[in-house]
């Protein structure tokens, strides 16, 4: 065999081994997401009814929605930065899952809606693992970021679907109380720690710059994209909790609202990997533009729905929107960052999280006045977001 052919063969085999290693990490991280989300999604559909039983109302639900999606994100930038600073990502991922599992257990001890909001917020603090995890995935498979992000999130959503079936079984068939279901969910979430032990991370050169120096050195294209995605988060702040209430009020059944939530998760899971692959193929900007416009159309649909089939379509569309935006957001962040991926993902998560907090509070206040005002507000924000994304540069 000629030397050139030998070198090419060796390089090809090296790449294949790298792809296998990357794939193993993706599946291990996805398995942790799966187990953690089984527990999470056993709890999420109960939260609106749990907080109402503790004396909360529309503003408290909006506050919880925003904080659930947002407060923990303030700290995600530190998880990303520390993983860059130390050159280690796995430890922060493990710690994040542990914190989430612990505070899931404490949710069952809440004696007031204020305590429930606090425990929900602290449970989401464990999400500081997201930036190191996303950076690890992005570094492992640069050419297939969209696909890999799609795979991990699909496993996450499949865990959520299983969790929903479990909560239906326990709540409806066996008449378990909310607190007992929460304790079972927490026990399942602790199992998410096991796959992390087997993750193999590549050695990365630690970044010695200060956090503020790294943020200052972000390319302007990355800064603008973080601004655009944050603006969209004012609208997409954690709408699923309000959709659950809409389903409950329309059908008069908590069980029916659970079924609609399963429809959302199935739609989300089905479309995640296809849109992740499509973002690898045609770019993420077109997908985001379409997703933002579809969000606008879905909010308009909330003004107009008349029957249960229309409501089911809204849940399907919201799952589709979530799938379109998930991998595309992360792929663009990965493309626009170089040796500071952990900090870049942390800044992205923190910015959209802060936006979600304020978005949830405003939306909750509008809901108390008239739900139609909230739908109109969200529709307007998403339409402006679609205009802003037009000026995003992907690379």
Closest CA to 215 of 132, 352, 337: 337
Q: What is the mean pLDDT of the chain?
A: 84
From the CB of residue 4, how many other CB atoms can be counted at a distance below 10 Å?
8
Q: In this predicted model, what pLDDT tens digit does every residue of 365-393 receive, in sequence order?
A: 898 889 899 999 999 999 999 999 989 88
**Residue position matching structure tokens 């900090």:** 343
Asked if 196 and 28 touch (Cβ cutoff 8 Å), the reply is yes
Q: In this predicted model, what pLDDT tens digit does every residue of 176-232 receive, in sequence order?
A: 888 999 999 999 999 999 999 999 887 777 777 777 777 777 889 999 999 999 999
Q: What is the DSSP string of 184-243?
A: HHHHHHHTTHHHHTT------PPP-S-HHHHHHTS-HHHHHHHHHHHHHHHHSSSTHHHH
* Cα 204 from chain centroid (whole Å): 26
- Note the pLDDT of residue 63: 77
Q: In this predicted model, what pLDDT tens digit does every residue of 268-279 receive, in sequence order?
A: 989 988 988 888
Q: What is the pTM of this model?
A: 0.72
Closest CA to 232 of 43, 42, 392: 392
**Residue range 255-259: mean pLDDT, rounded:** 84
Domain boundaries, the chain: 16-198+211-389
**Cα separations in angstroms, 332 against 229, 289, 290, 389:** 11, 13, 15, 12
Is the pLDDT score of 18 beyond 90? no
Is the pLDDT score of 98 beyond 50? yes
**Residue position matching structure tokens 């802003």:** 388
- Note the pLDDT of residue 181: 93
**Residue position matching structure tokens 């979430």:** 189
Q: Which structure tokens are listed for 316?
A: 């399907």
Out of 139-153, 173-187, 258-272, least confident range: 139-153
- Note the pLDDT of residue 250: 87
Is the pLDDT score of 21 beyond 50? no
- Helix and strand element counts for the chain (H, E): 18, 0
Is the pLDDT score of 70 beyond 80? no
Asked if 341 and 84 touch (Cβ cutoff 8 Å), the reply is yes
- Note the pLDDT of residue 373: 93
Closest CA to 348 of 362, 336, 358, 361: 336
Collapsed DSSP state (helix, strand, coil) of residue 276: helix
Q: In this predicted model, what pLDDT tens digit does every residue of 124-143 receive, in sequence order?
A: 888 889 888 888 888 765 55
In CATH terms, the fold of domain 16-198+211-389 is Growth Hormone; Chain: A; (1.20.1250)
Q: In this predicted model, what pLDDT tens digit does every residue of 323-354 receive, in sequence order?
A: 999 888 988 998 888 767 788 888 898 898 88
Collapsed DSSP state (helix, strand, coil) of residue 307: coil
Is the pLDDT score of 65 beyond 90? no
Asked if 141 and 16 touch (Cβ cutoff 8 Å), the reply is no
């Amino acid at each position: 065999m000629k030397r050139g052919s030998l070198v090419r063969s060796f390089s090809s085999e090296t790449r294949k081994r790298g792809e296998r290693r990357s794939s193993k990490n993706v599946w291990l991280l996805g398995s942790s997401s799966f187990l953690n989300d089984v527990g999470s999604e056993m709890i999420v559909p109960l939260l609106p009814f749990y907080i109402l039983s503790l004396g909360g109302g529309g503003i408290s639900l909006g506050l919880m929605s925003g904080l659930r999606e947002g407060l923990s994100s303030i700290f995600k930038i530190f998880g990303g930065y520390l993983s860059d600073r130390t050159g280690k990502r796995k430890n922060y991922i493990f710690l994040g899952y542990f914190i989430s599992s612990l505070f899931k257990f404490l949710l069952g001890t809440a004696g007031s809606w204020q305590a429930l909001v606090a425990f929900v917020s602290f449970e989401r603090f464990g999400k500081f693992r997201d930036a190191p995890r996303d950076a690890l995935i992005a570094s492992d498979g640069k050419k297939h970021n969209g696909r890999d992000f799609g795979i991990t999130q699909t496993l996450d959503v499949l865990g959520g679907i299983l969790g929903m079936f479990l909560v239906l079984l326990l709540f409806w068939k066996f008449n378990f109380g909310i607190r007992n279901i929460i304790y079972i969910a927490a026990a399942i979430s602790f199992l998410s720690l096991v796959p992390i032990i087997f993750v193999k991370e590549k050695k990365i050169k630690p970044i010695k710059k200060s956090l503020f120096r790294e943020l200052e050195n972000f390319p302007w294209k990355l800064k603008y994209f973080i601004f655009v995605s944050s603006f969209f988060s004012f609208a997409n702040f954690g709408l699923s909790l309000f959709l659950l209430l809409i389903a409950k009020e329309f059908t008069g059944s908590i069980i029916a609202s659970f079924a609609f939530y399963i429809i959302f998760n199935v739609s989300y899971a089905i479309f995640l990997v296809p849109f992740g692959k499509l973002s690898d193929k045609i770019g993420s900007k077109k997908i985001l533009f379409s997703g933002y416009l579809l969000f606008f159309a879905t909010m308009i649909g909330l003004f107009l729905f008349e029957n249960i089939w229309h409501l089911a379509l809204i849940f399907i569309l919201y799952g589709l929107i979530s799938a379109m935006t998930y991998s595309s957001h992360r792929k663009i962040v990965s493309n626009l960052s170089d040796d500071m991926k952990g900090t870049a993902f942390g800044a992205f998560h923190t910015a959209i999280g802060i936006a979600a907090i304020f978005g949830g509070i405003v939306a909750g206040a509008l809901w108390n006045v008239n739900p139609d005002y909230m739908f109109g507000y969200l529709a307007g924000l998403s339409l402006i977001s679609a205009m802003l994304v037009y000026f995003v540069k992907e690379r």
